[in-house]
Structure 1
Amino acid sequence: MANHKSALKRIRRNEAVRLRNRYQHKTVRNAIKKLRSEEDKKAAEALLPTVVGMIDKLAKKNIIHNNKAANLKSKLMTQVAAM
């Protein structure tokens, strides 16, 4: 167990950040699933900017890698365009 006050605080902080990152990542994954399952092109086009923004936010905070974010966005845009 940690002996220093700063180490104890760091442990608490790491856990809080981990939970927040996990929540945000799961929320984005659910939004992507919702977009992929969308049948209506108009609804998908309306939802796409929101999902892309969420993906960009994850990449900016290093929750996911920048290349993974780019791949996800590319696949989603291709899918919506092909509807």
Structure 2
Amino acid sequence: MANHKSALKRIRRNESVRLRNRYQHKTTRNAIKKLRTEEDKKAAEEMLPGVLSMIDKLAKRNVIHNNKASNLKSKLMIHVAQM
């Protein structure tokens, strides 16, 4: 167990950050699934910028790797373009 006040604070902070990251990651994954299952091209094109923004935010905060974010964005844009 931690012996310092700052270490105890860090443990509390890490837990809250972990929960926030988990929530944002799950929300983004659900948005990606919704976009992939969308049948209407116009609706998919409207959803795309929001989903791409969510992916960028995860990469910026190091929740996912930059390369994974780029791959996801590329595949989603190709998917929407081919609808």
Which TM-score band (shorter chain)?
over 0.9
Q: Percent identity?
A: 83
User: What residue number does 1:54 align with?
Assistant: 54
Residue identity in the other structure for 2:34: K
CA RMSD, Structure 1 to Structure 2 (Å): 0.4
Q: Which runs of 5+ in 1 are unaligned?
A: none
User: What residue number does 1:7 align with?
Assistant: 7
The TM-score normalised by the length of structure 2 is 0.99
Runs of 4+ in 1 over 3 A off after TM superposition: none
The TM-score normalised by the length of structure 1 is 0.99
**Mapped pair 1:73 → 2:73:** yes
Q: Which runs of 5+ in 2 are unaligned?
A: none
Number of equivalent positions: 83
Residue identity in the other structure for 1:82: Q
